[in-house]
Amino acid sequence: MEKNDNEHLSLITATLPEQPGCYQFLDEKGVIIYVGKAKSLKKRVASYFNKDHTEKKTRVLIKQTRDIKYIVVDSEEEALLLENNLIKQYRPRYNVLLKDDKTYPYIVIKNELFPRIFQTRNVVRDGSLYFGPYASVYTAKVMLQMIKSIYKIRTCKYPLTTEAIAQGRFKVCLEYHIKRCNAPCTGMIAITDYNNQIAEIKEILKGNSSRITSLLLTQMKRYSKEMRFEEAQILKEKYNVIENYRAHSTVVTDTLHDLDVFSFDENEKSAFINYLHINNGAVVHVYTLEYKKKLDEPKENCWLWVLWS
């Protein structure tokens, strides 16, 4: 790494905030080669450059890093969600290499009569639906916990068929008794009702949770008018769980889909243009341009320089 590169990275590291967020390492061509999250951006990024690393892949990553970008968020959970989106967007090569070549976790909806839903690292081409990859096991687990708290999906590995169910080959298990499963193995729930739950879960995993909450709210109001209060309460509980999950993140929002956001700041010597690109409700790109001002130069000139660049 050349001296100028060292000075540039040292300056960035020294001015990083001690707040949670995501950081991106870029190579000499401006390509994002690594994305990470941190409770404290300053401490985490500085740890890469302030000590010797025994891991060869980490040393190579640092050697190839020429620039650092970062995004500040409000919490570690938001940093986790943002990291997941950035990795899926850019597929940085060192996010794979530094995981010791392990694959990222997915959430799978199995291609079965009554589909199971679980976390996996193995993608099998058998007609099942896979959602991900997720940047961490924690993110996938949070999603699964939310889904299981709302929907009573089976977890057993019984080879369910309509004939076997009709013949009474299976018995209810503990999951049924603790009200976590509707026992499709004994025919206690119709395949159409079960598949309606699966359809809602698919929308949530696709990121369309606002659509589900809207439907739940409409059904809940209808049940209340019809004085079906117990059914309305069940829907209300589902609605609250999804809304609480969505409220954890101000980074991902369903109201912004494809948007470029610019902001401007300046001091005596420089002007700074901050740029965010939001795609499908997630911040997927961030960039800050610094423009060295000439004496008494108006703000409009800075904007023109950015447009020409």
Asked whether residue 102 carries a pLDDT value surpassing 80, the answer given is no
Burial of 56 (0-12, 13-18, 19+ CB in 10 A): exposed
Query: Which of 18, 83, 72 has the alpha carbon at shortest distance from 46?
Result: 18
Determine the CATH number of domain 1-100: 3.40.1440.10
Average pLDDT over residues 13-41: 92
pTM above the 0.75 mark? Answer: no
CA-wise closest residue to 119 among 140, 94, 142: 140
Distances (CA, A) of 215 to 200, 222, 232, 236, 240: 10, 11, 12, 11, 13
CB 26 within 8 A of CB 66: yes
Name the nearest CA neighbour of 37 among 139, 171, 156: 139
Cβ proximity of 147 and 174 under 8 Å: no
pLDDT tens-digit map of 158-197: 999 999 999 999 999 999 999 889 999 999 999 999 999 9
Span 199-232, pLDDT tens digits = 989 888 876 777 777 888 888 888 888 998 888 8
192 CB-contact burial (10 Å; exposed 0-12 / middle 13-18 / buried 19+): exposed
